[in-house]
Amino acid sequence: MLETVILVVCFILLVWSSITDLRTTEVPDWLSHSTIVLGFVLNGADSWLTHSWAPLIASGIGFGVCLAFGLLTYYGGQWGGGDSKIIMALGSLLGLTFTLDTKLVWFAVYFLIAGALYGIGWTVWLAITRKHRFIPAYKAIIHTTYAKVIRISGFVLLGVFGVFSFFMHDAQLKIVTLILAVFFPFIAHVFLFVKAVENCMTREATPDKLLEGDWITKDVIVGGQSIFVAGKLGISQKKIDELKHLSKTHHNISITVKDGIPFVPAFLIAFLMMIGLGNPFLFI
């Protein structure tokens, strides 16, 4: 019974947070924080009913592993704080027992698939909807020395793996090697495509339009004083308030913001795959 309740809570969390992420590019802290606590409460109740510490311990391990992963992706500049906190909430709800027959492990496998497809789809959508910026950006990148090195490297690896395949006697290994050989030039061009799309994801914003966690790509200097140094972490509310105050005396303050991909919907897709398809290792 409690397992069903936990899955329903996960579903509500992911639907709610997906809607807010798509609409505002933010996930309310109260939603993720309260769900983290609820995960411990529900698993604690399960421990009490089953007279076993196992569910509560699994909840703690799941939260701890997801906390480490969330901090790594956040401070590595890959995800925003909201995305990381949703993963922590799922960790406390689903728990982790370090076996393949664990829903959090199933979710992780499906997320690798859903996340990749979702990221590619969103990137292509951005290239289409912002083609007036994407086309010039792609043309500018493709003619740089950097891009030429990337493309040449892809074709060099194609040649190397292609040659190796002729010396392999195992038919299956030869096929896998040839697939990898063709894969390298493709990945090289995908990489350049994504870099061009990233150039379409920046915008100029005034202090009153900033949101906590926005990624600033250029240092913010007002009146010769450095107010914010661009980095991998988003801007804090304290800095936003400071910029708003300065904008009263220093007009035309413009901040370069990089919009991220709202990734919480990919969590929802992975969760639905987990519920609908079950153990992914049964397909191997």
pLDDT one-digit tens code per residue, 40-98: 999 989 889 888 898 899 999 999 999 998 888 877 766 777 888 999 999 999 998 87
* Residue 155, domain member (yes or no): yes
Contact (Cβ atoms closer than 8 angstroms) between residue 99 and residue 78: no
> Kindly report the CA angle at 176 between 173 and 182, in degrees rounded to 5?
140
pLDDT score, position 268: 95
Tell which of 150, 170, 198 closes a domain: 198
Same domain for 86 and 22, yes or no, is yes
Q: Is the pTM of this model over 0.85?
A: no
Of the listed ranges 3-17, 34-48, 147-161, 248-262, the least confidently predicted one is 248-262
Q: Mean pLDDT lowest for which of 13-22, 66-75, 219-228?
A: 219-228
Q: Tell me, yes or no, whether 69 and 30 share the same domain.
A: yes
**H/E stretch holding 219:** none
Lowest mean pLDDT among 23-32, 125-134, 185-194, 212-221: 212-221
Range of the domain at 168: 131-198
**Dist CA 46 CA 44 (whole Å):** 5
27 alpha carbon, distance to own chain's centre = 14
- DSSP H/E element including 15: helix 2-24
CATH number for the domain including 55? 1.20.120
Token pair of 179 as six digits: 């697939």
Q: Does residue 100 share a domain with residue 21?
A: yes
Based on the domain organization, do 212 and 192 belong to the same domain? no
Mark which of 169, 198, 227 sits at the end of a domain: 198
* 190 shares its domain with 223: no
Q: Find, among 137, 116, 108, the residue nearest to 201 by Cα.
A: 137
Asked whether residue 32 falls in the same domain as residue 101, the answer is yes
- Cα gap 171→176, rounded to integer Å: 9
The three-state secondary structure class of 199 is coil
Same domain membership, residue 24 and residue 88:
yes
Q: Does a structural domain hold residue 112?
A: no
pLDDT digits (tens, 9 = 90+) for 23-39: 877 888 899 999 999 99
Q: Is residue 37 part of a domain?
A: yes
Same domain, 67 and 17: yes
Number of domains in the chain: 3
Asked whether 208 and 244 are in contact (CB, 8 A), the reply is yes
Same domain, 17 and 84: yes
Q: Is residue 120 one of the residues assigned to a domain?
A: no
